[in-house]
Structure formats: structure tokens, C-alpha cells
Amino acid sequence: MPYPAIRLKDMLDEGTRRYGVPGASLAVWAGNALSEAAAGVCNIETGVPAAPDTLFQIGSITKLYTAALAMQLVEEGKLSLDAPVRNVLPDFKLKDESVATRVTLRHLLTHTSGIMGDFFQDAGRGEDRVAKFTAMMAALEQVHEPGEMFSYCNTGFVAAGRMIEVSNGMTWDKAIRQRLAKPLDTPSFSTLPEQAMRYQTAIGHLGSPDKLFVTPIAYLAASNGPAGATPMAKARDVVSFMRMMMAGGVAANGNRILSAESVQAMHNMNVVCPAGMNIDAIGLATFMWDWDGDGRYEIFGHDGSTIGQAAWARYHPASGTAFCLLTNGGNGKALADRLIREVFSDAAGIVPPAPPKPDATLTVAPARYVGRYANTMEEIEVSEDGGKLVATVTPAPDYAVMSGGPKRIPLEPVSAELFLGVPPGMTLPQSWHFLGDDGTGRARWLHSGVRAHKRV
């Protein structure tokens, strides 16, 4: 049976009000039918109502598309997952020359390259912008050695985008339109603002849910497009992509987009995430979850966030259920958590497991945890206050607008490795993993927001 659209609308209306989300669009494929709903507004200043046809920024859901493009070229013999990037990009450079010679496309698509992942310098708007950005990566340091662990890496996907350009003979933007958007019958999928202007679009909002304002910066740098900086889509567009993945690479219109083997490769586990993280494992770009605890991954998808916008995509091939929620501010994470739980319970008979909870009886030795950890996006000072740990997050100057400014977050232990902390203005906890050893018994990395921060 189709998911009742009226129920989606009621849930979305109530949820956007409860969690201070200005506007949202939701599409669900279930029972071999599409149901859609929208709530709120595209822009709190104009008051234009959001609609199922509204384009929102999908952020890093784009990484699924970039990986799919890469797999098409692997099928054609133009790319190889496990050959050095330099086989395609001879001038590829990083600060660590030994890494530049060894890193592979698989490393890039699985966030295991160890390259500093958040670097949003603008390389302009010309058709050479991805090439120029990739050249800028020569200044980037390592968070860890390739394959040693994983740390979410936007820069890696830009490099993968450049590999797509060189091996395919066209820009990443043209490739995604010609090889994915058009064959999927999703012509509104846009990678540039001038494309999105053909449609009604949503703008991001910053600030706490009770005090929102329109973001002064509409988009991240276009040169980060392959990682998700600029693409905009309708929720149903993303559902069309997920339906293709659930159908072994065949779109609803009968067009074969990927081979069944490529889909399986994207769904094969490459990385197991630390226990208690909001992702269980990572395939080729694909986030993976084992909701029923049987040791197999049955839920796939990706999350995305840009400046004041956030998106969630989930699909369950066993039941043929796909879910996409797009939002433009407020506490979207809480809204997504609630809707994912309700929709998949109703449509697929499966729900996410209960999140971990702090252990009030656990006593930890602060010396292992306190100190400063950093990456290019932010610095985190972990200190002791009244016998408990507190994380003070200070964004780097270039990222202050995106992050909303400094945050002080009390941490509660779940285990000796895992802590939970709720960011200001949010209602759901974020996981904080202290990993490795720096040789003196102290944690070497703080893993938060799926990113590794190295002790400094």
C-alpha cells in the first residue's frame, strides 16, 4: 500500500513546528507508489510556502551521485578503484608526498585517505574550478595515514570529481546531468545556482530554532560541487536515485544507470565505524546501518548539510522503501530522527535501534581525554569541570558562519571510548569518540561529527 500522503503531511506539519524547522519537503516511496508532503516556508523573510516541487540543497547526498559516476567509469575501464590517483591525475599533490603517491580512488570514496577533509576555499566559477581546487590540495596535511581509520573527507570527493572529469572528458557538472540526472528523469536536479533558478528554491537559515535568520551566504564554493556544495533537488529526485539503487542499477523508466555489480560494490562494507556512532559502516560513499542487529547492513543512504540546510536519505531494499527529507534550518536532525523512525516502522516494519545512553556509574580518568584537538574546520578544547568533561568547540575563521560560532558542550560517558554531548539548540546527542594512543596514554584523536580531530 502507498504511504498515506495525508499522514506524511500531518507528521511534517507537526514536526516542523515542534523542532523550529522553517521549511521542509518529504518524499517516500513505499508500496510501489510515491507519497509527498511539504511544510513551512522557503524563506522566513518572504513567507513563500514550501512545496514538494521546491528545490533544497542536498549537501553530501551528492556524494552518492559522485560515487555512481565513478562506478560508471570503472565499468567502462576508464577508472580503477585501487590504482593510485596519480594514474589519472599525474600532478596530484598533497603536503605528504608519500601519501600523494599511494592514495587511491577507493580511499577517496570511503573517507579513508586521511587527507584533511574540510577545505572550502573558492576556486572560482570557471569550468576549471574543480581542477584548480584539486591543485590547492597540495597544501593539505594528513589527519591519519591512508587506510588507518576513517575521517569524513569532502576534499577527497572533489579529487574524485576531478578524476571523473579527466577520464570522461567533460566537467563534473555536465557528467552528472548527462549520465545521471537526465537518464533518471530528474531534470530539476541542479548543480549550479543558475540551473536552480528555473524552479522555486529554499534558502538556508542559521541560528537557534527559536531565533532563526536567513543565511548571508547562500552556497558553499562551487568548486566543492562533487562533495555537495551546490546541488539542489526535489525530494522526489533523490528518491528516484534511491529507487534505481534498490532496483540493481535500473531506473524507473527502464534506463540502466549502473550494473548490478557496481550497486553491490557501493553497498559492500569498506569501513566499520566505532560503536555508538550515528553510522554503522561505510561502503563506496554509501552510509550503511544494521538496524535489526543481525550483523548485516540492510539500510543504506547518506546525510547532507550546507549553510543552513540539511538533508537525509535512507532506503531499505528488502521492503522497497525509500525516504528523503530536505530542510532549511532549525533542529532538522530531531525532525529527521522522528520521521525516519515512524515512516520505516509503518512502511518497512523496521526501526533504528535505541541510541546509546550515558552510564552514570562510569568513572573515567580525565588525563586520557583533556587537551586540544583540531582539524581545518575547528578546534576542540576538552577540559575538566567539576569532575566532568566539557568540549569547547571554536570554529576556524572561515567556518564561523557555517557553524554558528563557539559552543560549549558537556560530555557524558557511555564507555571509556564513547561520550555523548548535546549541542546548544539541539535535542539529540552527538557522539564523541576518543580513539588511539599518542604514546603517553592520551587519546590521539577525537572523532566527532564523523570527523577525526588530531591532538595538537
Which residues fall within 8 angstroms of residue 166, CB to CB, at 6 or more apart?
Answer: 88, 89
> Under DSSP, is residue 421 helix (H, G, I), strand (E, B) or coil?
strand
> Under DSSP, is residue 446 helix (H, G, I), strand (E, B) or coil?
strand
Q: HSE (CB half, 13 Å, CA atoms) of 280?
A: 20
> Under DSSP, is residue 369 helix (H, G, I), strand (E, B) or coil?
coil
According to DSSP, residue 274 is labeled P
Asked if 251 contacts 327 with a C-beta cutoff of 8 angstroms, the reply is no
Please report, in angstroms and rounded to a whole number, the separation of the first and last CA atoms in the chain.
55
Asked if 31 contacts 3 with a C-beta cutoff of 8 angstroms, the reply is yes
Asked if 452 contacts 374 with a C-beta cutoff of 8 angstroms, the reply is no
Which entry of 60, 167, 190, 431 is annotated as an active-site residue? 60
Asked if 246 contacts 178 with a C-beta cutoff of 8 angstroms, the reply is no
Give the containing element (helix H, strand E) for 232: strand 232-233
According to DSSP, residue 354 is labeled P
CA distance 250 to 245: 7
Residue type (1 letter), 325: L
- Residue 60 designated active-site: yes
229 phi-psi bin (left φ>0, alpha ψ -120 to 50, beta other): alpha
Asked if 196 contacts 202 with a C-beta cutoff of 8 angstroms, the reply is no
Q: How many CB atoms lie within 10 A of CB 112?
A: 24
Q: Active-site residue numbers? A: 60
